[in-house]
Amino acid sequence: MLRTRVKEEVIIPAYEGRAIVVPKGHYLCIIDMEGQQVGDFVCFNQGNPGEHVSPVHMRSSLSSIRLKEGDGLYSNYRRPLMTLVKDTVGKHDFFFPACDYYRYKVDFDLEEHPNCHDNLEKALKPYRLGYTELPDPINWFMNNVLDDNGDYVIEPPLSKPGDYVMLEALDDVVVAVSACSQDLAPVNGWKVTPLKLQVLEGI
Amino acid sequence: MLRTRVKEEVIIPAYEGRAIVVPKGHYLCIIDMEGQQVGDFVCFNQGNPGEHVSPVHMRSSLSSIRLKEGDGLYSNYRRPLMTLVKDTVGKHDFFFPACDYYRYKVDFDLEEHPNCHDNLEKALKPYRLGYTELPDPINWFMNNVLDDNGDYVIEPPLSKPGDYVMLEALDDVVVAVSACSQDLAPVNGWKVTPLKLQVLEGI
């Protein structure tokens, strides 16, 4: 059994994002504190910010649109930057975009709704990563339900309070997570609640 | 019935890419000349190259991972730049990446295999679009076969010689298409063959 201790802990308030460094060999837990809360996640190689976790390449390298324990989080260089080592939920998304200005403007005619894209950009700003377009996210706990035609609906997450995923860093990485700010659809159970990040080291 | 005439025609040789401008209100046909040949496709708004067709946003706006006649090809601004008006095949992919240097290096230990990423970049170079990362492609005619677990295999395309898709431009767009250069897997039936582009106007 993996024995660890917490080195750093960060609460992500509802409607906000936070970034954190996870050193190589350390673990990151993303904890759904109250349940049914999606976390939009991006991850950069700290030593080469041009390399980042890339869901489109993950779908190729994993030959799947579902994540399982043991799966690598592959980068645009087709090598894993992290590994999903533990998952208490078993249902996540990595084909859907972060909500953004255009989502709320086009679909809800709202100008200033909090959104994951801007939450992630704000959280990453101090790291000066120099990208131009934010990479696509992994949406932890997001529950897309596909039918046989390839059409889908987004239902509330299956996660209960305290559920989590645990990732191992295979390189020094900068990770950002947003408490998905969509409160006008079922994706977070029609409300937005906090998440918790923990960086752990093995003991 | 839509009546059109051909204004411009371009052959895309096997293992290469070509780019073309499709003016607003005109149509683009992508024709699989010999059958079973995937075409990797990217599309930019000519008036604002920061806006491009974005498969991740398409999957959200269409609530689907399958394309049907009438579907919009949505951009990163969540509005359609083109519409799929006719499709003689009915099976395409928009969740898989373009093959690239890393695909052949990591999976086949090849340094210099032709690849769609580089074909598209070379074809787009004269247009000086100024992007840093090439957008994800739509892979016309690509036949991913999903199982109930979300795992999939890539099988040869269902397209026969002369099959095509027809797209209407909703703005002036720059399109690039690569004759997918993967000859080491079933994706193009284990061989690479030419495609044809036609720009048509209504009469």
pLDDT tens-digit series, residues A73-126: 999 999 999 999 999 999 999 999 999 999 999 999 999 999 999 999 999 999
* Residue in B65, B132, B151 nearest the CB of A63: B151
Residues β-bridged to residue B196: B11, B31
Contact B132/A136, CB-based, under 8 Å? no
Q: Which residues of A touch B146 (CB under 8 A)?
A: 65, 150
Residues β-bridged to residue B93: B139
Residue B47: per-residue pLDDT = 95
pLDDT tens by residue, A124-147: 999 989 888 999 999 999 999 999
* Residue in B64, B97, B151 nearest the CB of A151: B64
SS3 content of chain B, % helix, strand, coil (to 5): 15, 40, 45
Contact B149/A77, CB-based, under 8 Å? no
Residue A144's closest chain B neighbor by CA? B63
The reported pTM is: 0.96
Produce one character per residue of B157-174: b if its CB has 16 or more CB atoms within 10 Å, e if not: bbbeeebbbbbbbbbbbb
pLDDT tens by residue, A56-65: 999 999 999 9
- In this structure, are residues A41 and A29 in contact, taking their beta carbons and an 8 Å threshold? no
- Under-50 pLDDT residues of chain B: none
Q: Which residues of A touch B (CB under 8 A)?
A: 54-57, 59-60, 63-66, 76-79, 95-97, 102-103, 106-107, 131-133, 136, 146, 149-153
Number of compact structural domains in chain B = 1
Rg (CA), chain B: 16
Residue B176's Cβ-side half-sphere holds a number of Cα atoms within 13 Å equal to 29
For residues B73 and A83, give the distance between their C-alpha atoms in angstroms, rounded to a whole number: 33
C-alpha dihedral sign at B184, B187, B190, B196: negative
Residue A134's closest chain B neighbor by CA? B133
ipTM here: 0.95
- In this structure, are residues A76 and A54 in contact, taking their beta carbons and an 8 Å threshold? yes
For B186, the token pair is 């079933």
Write down the H helix ranges in B2-100: 55-61
- In this structure, are residues B197 and B6 in contact, taking their beta carbons and an 8 Å threshold? no
Domain with B18, as residue range(s), is 4-202
